[in-house]
């Protein structure tokens, strides 16, 4: 039973436009959410996170939005660059500081020049 | 900068061999994790450790074991490698909070 879902396996956008990657979760105990970026043959790198007490967090070109009532979060990349082409994983953790992160299956973003 | 290193980037083993994957972190992190990544399946947790000599099963522990004798080192052991264990193996560590730092991964092929 998937607790974190990324329903789009892939996304293709033009350079300079906005990329929107979506993530849904089912566990209402999740209180912290993270996005990781992964290039082929490399380990994932942390990108941005958001606590459940917020609905938005911004870091440069990257913004994460959280809609708790819908159990939905999204990552916006503006403007998209070819170097952003990678697989993006959404992850969640539950209350109490559990050591575990639950990852989605990932979305492969391709930014075309 | 946190550094997590893995002993091999690429490894080819035969079915039935015992395989050791090593992970070392240099930031005195308490928690360490082993994942495998497969296309279309994302990252799945195999085992994790929250202290030396302590370990807990993740979501897919079957066919694997782990060892943590020192704080900085966390080993994943495939007792008898099988072809369905061909995968990318990722080690991560964490001090506190939620963010985990990942190593570069080991691409294991079992033939």
3-state SS of B38-102 is: ECCCEEEEEEEEEECCEEEECCCCCCEEEEEEECCEEEEEECCCCHHHCEEEEEEEECCCCCCEE
Quote the percentage of chain B above a pLDDT of 70: 98
Q: So what's the pLDDT on residue A37?
A: 97
- B102 neighbourhood in chain A, CB within 8 Å: 36, 43-45
Q: So what's the pLDDT on residue A2?
A: 81
Q: Searching chain A, which residue's CA lies closest to the CA of residue B38?
A: A105
- A100 neighbourhood in chain B, CB within 8 Å: 45, 48, 58
Q: So what's the pLDDT on residue B53?
A: 86
Banded model confidence at residue B28, pLDDT cuts 50, 70, 90? confident
């Amino acid at each position: 039973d998937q607790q974190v879902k990324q329903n789009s396996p892939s996304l293709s956008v033009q350079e300079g436009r906005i990329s929107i990657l979506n993530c849904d979760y089912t566990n209402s105990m999740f209180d912290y959410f993270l996005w990781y970026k992964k290039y082929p043959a490399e380990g994932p790198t942390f990108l941005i996170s958001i606590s459940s007490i917020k609905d938005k967090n911004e870091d440069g070109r990257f913004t994460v939005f959280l809609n708790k009532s819908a159990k939905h979060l999204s990552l916006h990349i503006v403007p998209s660059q070819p170097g952003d082409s990678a697989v993006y994983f959404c992850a969640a953790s539950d209350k109490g500081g559990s050591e575990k992160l639950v990852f989605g299956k990932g979305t492969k973003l391709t930014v075309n020049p | 900068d946190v550094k997590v290193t893995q002993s091999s980037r690429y490894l080819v083993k035969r079915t039935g061999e015992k395989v050791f994957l090593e992970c070392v972190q240099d930031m005195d992190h308490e928690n360490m994790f082993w994942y495998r990544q497969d296309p279309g399946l994302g990252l799945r947790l195999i085992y994790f450790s929250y202290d030396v000599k302590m370990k807990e099963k993740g979501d897919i522990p079957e066919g694997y074991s782990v060892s943590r004798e020192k704080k900085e080192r966390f080993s994943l052991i495939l007792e008898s490698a099988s072809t369905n264990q061909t995968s990318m193996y990722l080690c991560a560590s964490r001090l506190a909070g939620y963010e985990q730092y990942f190593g570069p991964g080991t691409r294991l092929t079992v033939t």
